[in-house]
Amino acid sequence: MKKFTLAIILSLFSNLLLAQKHQERFSAIDVQHYRFEIQLTDESDKINGIALVTVKFKKDVQRFDLDLVKTKPSGKGMKMIALMVDDKKVPFEHSGNKLSINYVGKAGQSQTFTIAYEGIPETGLIISKNKYGDRTFFGDNYPDRGQHWLPIVDHPSDKATVEWVVTAPSHYQVVGNGLLVERTNINDKTMLTHWKTEVELPTKVMVIGAARFAIQNVANVYGATVSSWIYPQDREKGFYDYAPAAPILDWFINHVGDYPFAKLANVQSKTQFGGMENAGNIFYSENSVTGKRSVEGLLAHEIAHQWFGNSASEGNWHHAWLSEGFATYFTILYMEQKYGRAKAWETVLGNRNQVIAFSKKNRVPIVDTSVENYMEILNANTYQKGGWVLHMLRKEVGDEIFWEAIRKYYNKYKFSNALSDDLKEVFESVSGKDLDVFFKQWVYQAGQPEIEATWTYSKGQLNLELNQTQKEVFTFDLEIELVYADGKTERKTVLINQKNQKWTPKLDSKPVKVILDPDAWLLFEATLIEK
C-alpha cells in the first residue's frame, strides 16, 4: 500500500511538473511557421534537414526550448549541425529530447531560426519497405513522435503553418500538407517537391509521404481537390476503395461547416495505425486496400478528424476525446444517414460493450491526467466512450440543438484549441441547460452505471427496484418500456439519482416484459429479472 501510494504521488508530481513546463513554454513563445527542407536518399536511412522556425515571443526571454530527439547510443536520433539567426551563430544545448536555444527575445518580437541537423529517425518518419518490397518514407507523428525527426514544439496547443521542401530520388512522388507549390526535376536522378499550408496545424498532423504512387484526382468538392494516392500494384483496387471520400467530404461540409484545408489526399501508406488523420493528407494502412470497398467507415472517421482534431484541436493530450470521440461518433452519424438507424445502432451497441469491457480493467475517467505515455490515451475511453458522451448529449438536448451546438463549437474553435469545459459551455449556451453534472460524471468521473434491477407485479402495481452497484452514484434519465400481452407498449422516463431506488406506477394489467433503455441512449450495464 505504501509503495502504491508513493507511486501515485510521484506520478501526480511528475504530471504537475510536465504541465507546468509546457505552460511556461507556451507563455513564452508561439511558433508561427515551420519550413522543413528535407533530403531523402536511397543510400541510407539518414535524413538531412534544414528547419526554418519562426517564433513569436510572448514575453522577454533569454532561452527557450524546442523538441528534438538527440542521437542515442543506438545511432538513432538527430544530430545538430548549426543554429543561425541572420547568418549569425546562436548558442544552443542539445540533450535528450530538448534543443535549448540561448537567445534574447523581446516580447512581441518575431524571429526566424535556421536549424541544420541530420540523423536516422527512430520513429516519426517511418523509412521502410511496403508490402511489395518498395522503399517508402512516411511521416507518422502522432501523438508526440514528430520530435524524432523535426525540431518543433511537439504539443497540440502550439499550432503553426508549415511548408515542406523535399528533395528525393525522382522515382518517388511526394505528398505533404497544403497545396503543391513546386515540383522540379533537379537533375535526372533528383526531384524537388514543395508543399505549403495557409492555415495553422498541430504538429501531430504535419507529415510528408514519399513512395511510388498511382495518383487519381477523384473530385472537386466545394473547391477542395479530393485525390487518391495508391501503390501502383494496387491501383485499380485502391482507386475503387477510396472513391467514397468525395461524398463523405460533401456530407461533413454540409453538416459541420466549410472544409478547413486546401485539399484532401487519401494515401495508402505504412502508418502503424489503421488510419492517421494528417491534415488534408490522410494516411491509411497499406492493407486498407482490398478492392471490396470495406473502408467506408475508416474514411469517414479520418475525414471527420479534419474538423475535429486537426482544425478544432484538443488543448492537451488528456482531452484527446475531443478528437477521437468526435471522429468515432461522427462516423456513426454519417452511417446513420446513409444506411439507417438500425445499422448505425449496431455500432452504438458494440461501442457500449467495448467501453464496459475497458472499464472493468481500467477504471479511469475519459480525461485521465495520470497518463504520461500519450499512446496509452488511444483506448476505448477516448474513442468509444467519447463517442457515447456525444451520443448522450444528442439525446439530452435533441437533434436540432445538438447540431446547432456542434456547428457553434466548431466555428468558435476552428484553427484553435479547446478543452472539455469549452465544449460544455457551448452546449450550455445553445441549449440553455446546466450540464455540470453531465460532464462531471461522464467525462471527469470513472466508470458508468452498473444496475441490478428486479421487478414484480401485484395488485395493479409494478414494483421496480433499481440498485446502482458501482462506487459512484450517477444521475440520469432512464427510459423504461412496458410490453403487454396484447402487443401494446408504453414508455416512461424515470429520473435515477440514488444508489437504491424504486419505481412503483399503477398499471391496469401486468406487463409481459420490462425493457430498460429500449433505444440505447444510455451508457450503462444492467441486469433485470422478474422475481
Query: Residue 25: its pLDDT value, please?
Result: 74
Query: Residue 322: its pLDDT value, please?
Result: 98
Over residues 30-47, the mean pLDDT reads 98
212 and 66 in a single domain? The answer is yes
- Residue 456: CATH number of its domain: 2.60.40.1840
Final residue in a domain of this structure, among 442, 464, 496:
442
Answer whether residue 2 is part of any domain.
no
Residue by residue, DSSP assigns 239-280 as HHHHTTHHHHHHHHHHHT-S--SSEEEEEEE--SSSEE--TT
- Asked if the model's pLDDT at residue 3 lies above 70, the reply is no
Q: Distance between CA atoms of 332 and 336, rounded to whole angstroms?
A: 6
Minimal CA–CA distance to 478: which of 515, 504, 429? 515
Give 98-149 pLDDT, tens digit per residue: 999 999 999 999 999 999 999 999 999 999 999 999 999 999 999 999 999 9
Over residues 397-402, the mean pLDDT reads 98
Report phi then psi at 201, rounded to 5. -130, 155
Minimal CA–CA distance to 40: which of 129, 122, 138, 116? 138
DSSP summary character for residue 383: I
Final residue in a domain of this structure, among 426, 442, 458:
442
Over residues 504-525, the mean pLDDT reads 97
> 12 falls in which pLDDT band (50, 70, 90)?
very low
Final residue in a domain of this structure, among 442, 459, 489:
442
Give 313-327 pLDDT, tens digit per residue: 999 999 999 999 999
- Asked if the model's pLDDT at residue 5 lies above 70, the reply is no
- Asked if the model's pLDDT at residue 259 lies above 70, the reply is yes
- Asked if the model's pLDDT at residue 527 lies above 60, the reply is yes
Over residues 173-180, the mean pLDDT reads 98
Answer whether residue 258 is part of any domain.
yes
- Asked if the model's pLDDT at residue 503 lies above 50, the reply is yes
- Asked if the model's pLDDT at residue 7 lies above 80, the reply is no
304 and 341 in a single domain? The answer is no
pTM, rounded to two decimals: 0.94
> 20 falls in which pLDDT band (50, 70, 90)?
very low
Answer whether residue 431 is part of any domain.
yes
Answer whether residue 52 is part of any domain.
yes
Q: 109: which 3 cell numbers?
A: 518580437
295 and 204 in a single domain? The answer is yes
Query: Residue 23: its pLDDT value, please?
Result: 64
467 and 519 in a single domain? The answer is yes
398 and 497 in a single domain? The answer is no
Query: Residue 15: its pLDDT value, please?
Result: 46
Over residues 386-407, the mean pLDDT reads 98
Q: Count of domains in the chain?
A: 3
Answer whether residue 7 is part of any domain.
no
> 17 falls in which pLDDT band (50, 70, 90)?
very low
- Residue 421: CATH number of its domain: 1.10.390.10
Which amino acid is present at 433?
K
- Residue 60: CATH number of its domain: 2.60.40.1730
Query: What torsion, rounded to 10 degrees, do the Cα atoms 287, 293, 294, 298 define?
Result: 80
Q: Distance between CA atoms of 76 and 119, rounded to whole angstroms?
A: 7
Q: 84: which 3 cell numbers?
A: 543561425
Q: Distance between CA atoms of 374 and 90, rounded to whole angstroms?
A: 32
80 and 144 in a single domain? The answer is yes
Query: Residue 16: its pLDDT value, please?
Result: 44
Query: Which range of residues forms the domain containing residue 202?
Result: 29-308
**Three-class DSSP category at 141:** coil
199 and 220 in a single domain? The answer is yes
Pick the range with the lowest mean pLDDT from 22-36, 257-271, 430-444. Answer: 22-36
Q: Give the whole-number percent of the chain exceeding pLDDT 90.
A: 95
124 and 230 in a single domain? The answer is yes
Give 328-351 pLDDT, tens digit per residue: 999 999 999 999 999 999 999 999
236 and 202 in a single domain? The answer is yes
